[in-house]
């Protein structure tokens, strides 16, 4: 059993070396290690704060972006509506103008036709009157070649005038 149980001297020197090692570590290594751990902790804390700030900024930017998108959609719809209204107005005005122009053309055509008809009637009356005069003239020349026929015609005309 001697082999399994340590000696008192070994325990003493082990404890003494361990305590010296602890004192040396505390004096020279412990403060820089704790300082490095504290710096690392502070750095992680700042990174977490920066990440939360960035996340909040991204959230605000996302909200603003959504608002801008909604506004842009509304503006687009407004412009499309105005464009449709302008298109309908232009089409309506064009139809009205075409109807007016059609009415003017038809009226002008009717008036032109009426003028042509009136001119043709006047011309026809003139031709008929001229022909009637020529025929009457020829008849009168033939009938009034004799003096007794002339006197009879004048007498008949006088009788007709008195009766009326």
How do the domains of the chain map onto residue ranges? 8-108
Number of residues that this document lists for the chain: 164
pLDDT per residue over 83-96, tens digit each? 999 999 999 999 99
- pLDDT of 81 above 70: yes
Token pair recorded at residue 149: 């026929």
- pLDDT of 162 above 70: no
pLDDT per residue over 126-149, tens digit each? 888 888 787 777 777 766 677 777
Is the torsion defined by CA of 13, 18, 21, 27 positive or negative?
negative
Identify the band that residue 164 occupies on the pLDDT scale cut at 50, 70 and 90. Answer: very low
Residue reference for tokens 């007016």: 100
Least confident interval from 38-47, 60-69, 117-126, 139-148: 139-148
User: Which residues are CB-contacts of 153 (< 8 A; sequence separation ≥ 6)?
Assistant: 143, 144
- φ, ψ at 5 (rounded to 5°): -90, 135
More reliable by pLDDT, 20 or 27: 20
């Amino acid at each position: 059993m001697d082999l399994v149980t340590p000696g008192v001297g070994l325990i003493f020197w082990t404890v003494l070396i361990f305590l010296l090692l602890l004192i040396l570590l505390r004096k020279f290594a412990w403060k820089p290690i704790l300082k490095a751990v504290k710096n690392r902790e502070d750095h992680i804390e700042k990174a977490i704060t920066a990440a939360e700030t960035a996340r909040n900024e991204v959230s605000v930017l996302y909200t603003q972006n959504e608002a801008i998108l909604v506004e842009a959609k509304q503006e687009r719809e407004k412009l499309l509506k105005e464009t449709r209204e302008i298109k309908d107005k232009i089409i309506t005005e064009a139809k009205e103008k075409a109807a007016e122009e059609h009415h003017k053309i038809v009226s002008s055509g009717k008036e032109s036709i009426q003028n042509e008809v009136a001119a043709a009637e006047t011309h026809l009356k003139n031709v008929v009157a001229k022909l009637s005069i020529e025929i009457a003239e020829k008849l009168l020349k033939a009938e009034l070649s004799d003096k007794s026929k002339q006197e009879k015609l004048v007498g008949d005309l006088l009788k007709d005038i008195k009766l009326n």
